[in-house]
Each structure stands twice: as structure tokens, then as C-alpha cells.
Amino acid sequence: MKFVDEAYIDVSAGDGGAGCVSFRHEKYKEFGGPNGGDGGRGGHVFAVADPNLNTLVDYRFSRRHDAKRGEHGMGSDMFGAAGDDITLKMPVGTIITDAETGEVLFELITPGEVITIAKGGDGGFGNMRFKSAINRAPRQKTPGWPGEKFNLKLELKVLADVGLLGMPNAGKSTLITAISNARPRIADYPFTTLHPNLGVVRVGPEQSFVVADLPGLIEGASEGAGLGHLFLRHLQRTRLLLHVIDMAPFDESVDTVAQAKAIVNELKKYDPALYAKPRWLVLNKLDMIPVEERAALVKDFVKRLKFKGPVFEISALTREGCESLIKTVYQHVKAQQKAEQTPEVVDPRFAVDPE
């Protein structure tokens, strides 16, 4: 499932330090001459492609990124120190565009690739630079050059790490609103979601994953019924499926176990590989069930469904249980990413001869 994750940032490289006007003042040296040093270079702004990142969510919380300016020159032939550089970590595949002109400036393609997105200004000249045979005591100096400043747009085509499955009105849109930055339209009737919604779930600094809310599936989706069949193929790229169950349906005659089995059957019909993906149960809307009845209801549901995987009890509306869910999902996604990046090493002693 490909979506575009966007962020806007302002970057400023450091200005160069100004040159210094100074003369030697030493005992017994009446004409010491100029000794004003140059200013230091301003800090650069770099970007590095970090394979451990998969979203731009952190740049929505920190828009301004300024490098330090260079120090001014000083007397005694001392040059100013260069300003500190800053390095911005970005996911591989990030496209950096000038937000004002729309011109594509850079694209981070290779993991570990480093580019300079804003150069620091050079330092100004001190008066020792202007000394000549006819100008023995120059009083000229130059200011530092300004650093580059840009208003940048970051774009990243992302794949959803986690897909939300469920019947219409199971609370998937409410859940993605509760745990991410996505703001889908929500209403109390089926088929509220008419197109996929993508949300970035921020677990901590440089810790996030991407979740997609798909239109609700109904029985017969693999043959084209409803809306969900249009997006089933996108789930093939996800690492984990969360099956959201409405534990308090409006119609009390609805058999939630039968609905859950129907969705599982649709996955199996559409693609056995999709059916074999890790799938967790998320039992939603438990806030609408009396506390004393919840344990028995959940136990009976899981037993009748014959589900053996992880089960999470939540309320997307009150966010009860959501924090535990997203932390566990993040750990699973990172473990899968690490496994995908680390090639399996086979000991030659145990290698199987293909013949």
C-alpha cells in the first residue's frame, strides 16, 4: 500500500563569522602591523539516509533546524572556530523539494548516503589579509557570508506496516484516530471509510510505524462485493494484520464470531499467503460492556472462534488498552524489519545438497 508521507521543514546553515581588525601591541615593537584573523565558517546542514526510519513523523514535531554560526576572528592572528554542523536523519527514499519553487533538490536512495542540503557561509577576512607594500596598516575587514536557508518539503512514499481488518463499523477509523495522526471521517453507519486512510503511529523519538485503515470487508469481498475487495491486494505488503472486532454491535442478533470467520475466509479465498500473515485480534468497544461481563464475553468469543494468536482488549473511543497495543505492534514490526535486513547465514556443515 503506497502512500505519500509529507513534512515541511525550515533549514538554516550558519553564517560565517566576521573578520577582525587588530594590530600588534608588543613592547619595543613600534610598528607591529596588522594581526586580525578571519572569521570561522558557518555550520552546514546535512541529511543522511537512515534505513532504520520509515516515516517523516518526527519532522512534524520539529520544523526548524539551524546550524551554528562561525565565531568572529580575533587578534594575534587567531581565526574564528567553524560553527557546528547538524545532521538530519531521514528515511531511505525521501525526496527533498524546494517548497517555494517546487524544484526537486535531492533524493536519498542509498542507505547511509549523506548529502549537504544547506552550506554554511564562509568567514570574513581580517585586516591581516589586506596588508601590502603600500598599505602597511590596513583597517579593512569583511563580514561573514550568510549561510544558505531553505524552506523544504520532504516526501516519502511509504508502505503500510500494519493493516486494519474488520467489518464495516467495527471501529477501525476510530482506532486509527486514537493511535495515529490520521483523521478519517467517522460516522455511526456502515461504509464510512470509502478509501484507505494512512496513519503514522509515533511510539517515541525516531520510533514509529505506519498503519492503514481499509474499507470494511463483507462476505463475498474476494469476489467483488462491497468496497474492501478493491484494497485487499494492498495488504500483501503489510507485515501484520490487526483484525478489529465490534464486541458491542448495534444489532444484538448479529453473531460476531460468524462475522470474524467470514472475513478470515475472504482472506483465505483471495490469497493463501495473505491468510498466512501474522494476524492479531483486537476486541474493540469494550467500554460499552459492563466491567463484570467483559472477561466472560472475551473468553467465550475467543473459544468459539478457536483463535490461538495474541488478543488485545481495547476501547478505541476511550483509548483504553491502546498504549499496550501500539508498543507490542512496534516491537513486532521492528523485529520483522531487522529480520528482513539481516540475511540468513547457513553453516556449510548443515547445508543440504539440492541433488
- 3-class secondary structure, 63: coil
Whether 242 contacts 282, CB under 8 Å: yes
> Could you say which of 157, 188, 216 is where a domain stops?
157
Residues 119 and 217 in one domain: no
User: What DSSP line would sit under 222-259, residue for residue?
Assistant: GGT-TTGGGTGGGGGG-SEEEEEEESS-SSTT--HHHH
- How far is 106 from 116, CA to CA, in rounded Å? 9
Range of the domain at 119: 2-157
What pLDDT score does 254 carry? 80
- 3-class secondary structure, 235: helix
What pLDDT score does 215 carry? 61
Determine, yes or no, domain membership for 268: yes
What pLDDT score does 347 carry? 47
Residues 176 and 325 in one domain: yes
Whether 165 contacts 214, CB under 8 Å: yes
What pLDDT score does 166 carry? 80
Whether 12 contacts 65, CB under 8 Å: yes
Joined grid coordinates for residue 200: 503514522
Low-confidence ranges of the chain (pLDDT < 70): 1-4, 29-31, 158-159, 181-197, 214-237, 340-355
Query: For 323-334, how does the pLDDT look when each residue is reduced to its tens digit (9 = 90+)?
Result: 999 999 999 988
Joined grid coordinates for residue 228: 474492501
Whether 232 contacts 220, CB under 8 Å: no
Residues 102 and 6 in one domain: yes
Residues 264 and 278 in one domain: yes
Determine, yes or no, domain membership for 353: no
What pLDDT score does 88 carry? 94
Residues 144 and 22 in one domain: yes
Residue 69 maps to which CATH number? Answer: 2.70.210.12
Determine, yes or no, domain membership for 220: yes
Residues 113 and 204 in one domain: no
What pLDDT score does 196 carry? 60
> Could you say which of 92, 123, 157 is where a domain stops?
157
Joined grid coordinates for residue 276: 498466512
Determine, yes or no, domain membership for 217: yes
- 3-class secondary structure, 100: coil
Residue count of the chain: 355
Residues 276 and 320 in one domain: yes
CA-atom Rg of the chain in angstroms: 30
- How far is 38 from 21, CA to CA, in rounded Å? 9
- How far is 76 from 25, CA to CA, in rounded Å? 10
Give the angle subtended at the CA of 172 by the CAs of 170 and 178, to the nearest 5°: 130
What pLDDT score does 38 carry? 92
Residue 285 maps to which CATH number? Answer: 3.40.50.300
What pLDDT score does 353 carry? 45
Residues 167 and 268 in one domain: yes
Instruction: Confirm whether pTM is higher than 0.85.
Output: no
Residues 226 and 195 in one domain: yes
What pLDDT score does 9 carry? 93
Residues 64 and 182 in one domain: no
Determine, yes or no, domain membership for 142: yes
Residues near 301 by beta carbon (within 8 Å), at least 6 away in sequence: 245, 247, 256, 257, 283
Query: For 37-50, how does the pLDDT look when each residue is reduced to its tens digit (9 = 90+)?
Result: 999 999 999 999 98
> Could you say which of 135, 157, 179 is where a domain stops?
157
Determine, yes or no, domain membership for 69: yes
**Partner residues linked to 154 by β-bridges:** 7, 96
- 3-class secondary structure, 242: strand
Residues 152 and 285 in one domain: no
Determine, yes or no, domain membership for 351: no
Residues 126 and 214 in one domain: no
- How far is 336 from 210, CA to CA, in rounded Å? 14
Distances (CA, A) of 70 to 41, 112, 294, 327: 5, 27, 64, 42
User: Number of structural domains, the chain?
Assistant: 2
Determine, yes or no, domain membership for 152: yes
Distances (CA, A) of 225 to 166, 192, 219, 230, 261: 15, 16, 7, 9, 17
